[in-house]
Amino acid sequence: MAKETGRKIIAQNKKARHDYLILDTYECGLVLTGTEVKSLRQGRASLVDGFAQLDDAEVWLHNVHIAEYSQGTWTNHSARRKRKLLLHRAEIDKLIGKTKETGFTLVPLALYFKDGRAKVELALAKGKKEYDKRQTLREKQDRREADRVMSAVKRKERA
Q: What is the pLDDT of residues 33-76, one digit of tens each?
A: 888 888 888 888 888 888 888 888 899 999 888 887 777 667 77
Using alpha carbons, select from 67, 57, 69, 54 the residue that is nearest to residue 122: 54
Residues of the chain with pLDDT under 70: 1-3, 72-73, 77-79
Give the chain's count of helices (H) and strands (E).
Answer: 4, 9
pLDDT at 88: 93
pLDDT at 159: 72
Distance CA 57, CA 116 (A): 27
Phi-psi region of 48 (alpha: psi -120 to 50; beta: other; left: phi over 0): alpha
Using alpha carbons, select from 26, 33, 34, 21 the residue that is nearest to residue 52: 26
pLDDT at 78: 67
Distance CA 152, CA 159 (A): 11
Give the C-alpha distances (Å, rounded to integers) separating 69 from 17, 94, 123.
29, 36, 28
**C-beta of residue 108 within 8 angstroms of C-beta of residue 119:** no
> What phi, psi does 91 have (nearest 5°)?
-65, -40
Whole-prediction pTM: 0.74
pLDDT at 21: 87
For residue 153, give the 3-state DSSP assignment: helix
For residue 121, give the 3-state DSSP assignment: strand
